[in-house]
Amino acid sequence: MKEIDLSTKLGEITLKNPVITASGTCGYGQELEDYMDLEQLGALTVKGITLQAKTGNPVPRIVETPAGILNSIGLENPGLEGFLADKIKIIKGYQLPVFVNISGYSIEDFVLLAEKLAEISCIAALEVNVSCPNIPGGGLAFGTDPELIYQITKQVKAAYPGSVIVKLSPNVTAISDMAIAAQEGGADIISLINTLQGMAIDLERQKPVFANTFGGLSGPAIKPVALRMVYQVAQKIKIPIIGMGGIMTGQDAVEFLLAGASAVAIGTATLIHPDAPLMIIKEIKAYLQDKKINNIQEIIGKVLN
């Protein structure tokens, strides 16, 4: 049988296969180097950065749930300066597309980050996180208002000459309206979903477990919701989609591709098996082999037709 072509396109970016790491679950790449050859991935998305360094929320920051985890990290990150000083030299060495996830408290924050990162040639795309649910006074408000999504996207696009991915929050009623707003603002790619807002209560203290009360749910529990949202968005937009949310196996990944995602991102699975993304690439290939399909493009969006 002919070698299976797993390559896929996200606008102007070509990936050798559709499997990407999800932001916040692989640090800046280096953290996973002992577990896998990162260059076998389609792309790497690094932890979200903000203008100023953040120490994040107090512990506990992760709570297990029956089919996933709740996290309340609070965007701990070295800030733009720390990222440029310490992380960028690591990223520069990688022979694969690297996406840098950015977060902010105002449109100006996003624009400033975009302007500074525009000077760095080794970044393949910015992923604009309009959806982080764990920081007070920011994040979620952007991701639930189509007008704000449009404005952020438009202004980041004006500040950044490369590809812009807009990462959507599932904590909305009409996900397609958010995706359309991002597309109209000039987004090159949409990624979805971020975590679903949830909470846990400590029975001994009779208080919320997290200092911030709420956390973001990820893992297998959210897969059906994520898949439904990718399917809905794929029917309404023309730009490519990175699908994520609870992908644990190659079979899960194939479901997202069939629903219209051009690539997939793996998050919580990596926290359990650090080399999960590589296993998922193998399983996607095995599925295609079994179905006698030589080119992954044949299955992308097939359920939509």
Ligand X SMILES: Cc1cc2nc3c(=O)[nH]c(=O)nc-3n(C[C@H](O)[C@H](O)[C@H](O)COP(=O)(O)O)c2cc1C
* Interface positions with ligand X (CB under 6 A): 22-25, 47-48, 71, 73, 75, 101, 129, 132, 167, 194-195, 218-219, 222, 244-247, 266-269
42 vs 219, which CB is nearer to ligand X?
Answer: 219
Choosing from 41, 75, 91, 132, the catalytic residue is: 132
The CA distance from 176 to 187, in Å, is 14
Residue keyed to tokens 């920051």: 61
Q: Residue 74 Cβ, how far from ligand X at the closest point, in Å?
A: 10
Active-site annotation holds for 122: no
From residue 163, how far is each of 94, 239, 290 by CA, in Å? 18, 12, 35
Burial class (CB in 10 A: 0-12, 13-18, 19+), 193: buried
Q: Residue 179 Cβ, how far from ligand X at the closest point, in Å?
A: 15
Confirm if 103 and 49 have CB atoms less than 8 A apart. Answer: yes
DSSP letter (8 states) at residue 205: T
- At a CB cut-off of 8 Å and minimum separation 6, what does 17 contact? 6, 7, 8, 40, 41, 42, 281, 284, 296
**H/E element holding 216?**
strand 214-218
132 vs 296, which CB is nearer to ligand X?
Answer: 132
Identify the sign of the CA torsion 4, 9, 13, 19. negative
| Helix/strand/coil percent split, the chain, to 5 | 35, 20, 40
Q: Residue 294 Cβ, how far from ligand X at the closest point, in Å?
A: 28
Amino acid symbol at 118: A
Q: Residue 66 Cβ, how far from ligand X at the closest point, in Å?
A: 14
208 vs 293, which CB is nearer to ligand X?
Answer: 208
The CA distance from 298 to 169, in Å, is 28
Q: Residue 217 Cβ, how far from ligand X at the closest point, in Å?
A: 8
4 vs 114, which CB is nearer to ligand X?
Answer: 114
48 vs 250, which CB is nearer to ligand X?
Answer: 48
As annotated, the active-site residues are 132
